């Protein structure tokens, strides 16, 4: 993501922040899900809604790329009702030991974010399985 233009990075940052708001995450939960460096405080989140891209950090990029995948998968899963994506994120699921996808991401970090994306995007799950022909 960080190889993109500043304008594109800002747009993607705003998209992620809007989704985190739509999912009902608190400021501290947003900091955690994004894996932002400890030096970034919750008051800085407002800048990410406006004109500041996420910091160039490999840990943040890892999360942001997968969060964008989750956002896109929810959009394609519920094309006629964008509110359903947020509902799905707040509903406990058997595959996550009856936790919500949001709680899974908060509790399990990178593995949790990856698990949520794999649940929503079968092609991503297929790639993770190592089932690609070599």
pLDDT over threshold 90, residue 103: yes
Q: Could you tell me which of 8, 12, 11, 29 has the C-alpha nearest to residue 20?
A: 29
Query: d(Cα 73, Cα 53) in Å, to the nearest integer?
Result: 22
pLDDT over threshold 90, residue 45: yes
CA atoms lying within 13 Å on the CB side of residue 51: 0
pLDDT over threshold 70, residue 37: yes
Q: The pTM is what?
A: 0.88
pLDDT over threshold 70, residue 130: no
Residue 133's pLDDT band (boundaries 50, 70, 90)?
low
DSSP code of residue 121:
-
Residue 57's pLDDT band (boundaries 50, 70, 90)?
very high
Three-class DSSP category at 19: helix
Which tens digit of pLDDT belongs to each residue from 5-14?
Answer: 889 999 999 9
Give phi and psi for 34, each to the nearest 5.
-80, -15
The per-residue pLDDT for 59 is 95
């Amino acid at each position: 993501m960080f190889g993109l233009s500043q304008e594109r990075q800002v747009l993607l940052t705003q998209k992620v922040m809007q989704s985190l708001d739509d999912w009902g995450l608190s400021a501290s939960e947003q900091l955690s899900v994004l894996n932002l460096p400890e030096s970034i405080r919750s008051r800085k989140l407002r800048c990410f809604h406006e004109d500041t891209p996420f910091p160039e950090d490999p840990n943040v990029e890892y999360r942001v790329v997968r969060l964008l995948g989750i956002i896109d998968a929810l959009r394609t899963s519920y094309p006629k009702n964008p509110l359903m994506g947020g509902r799905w994120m707040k509903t406990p699921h058997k595959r996550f030991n009856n936790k919500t996808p949001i709680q899974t991401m908060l509790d399990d970090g990178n593995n949790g974010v990856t698990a949520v994306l794999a649940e929503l995007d079968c092609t991503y799950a297929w790639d993770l399985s190592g089932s690609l022909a070599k």
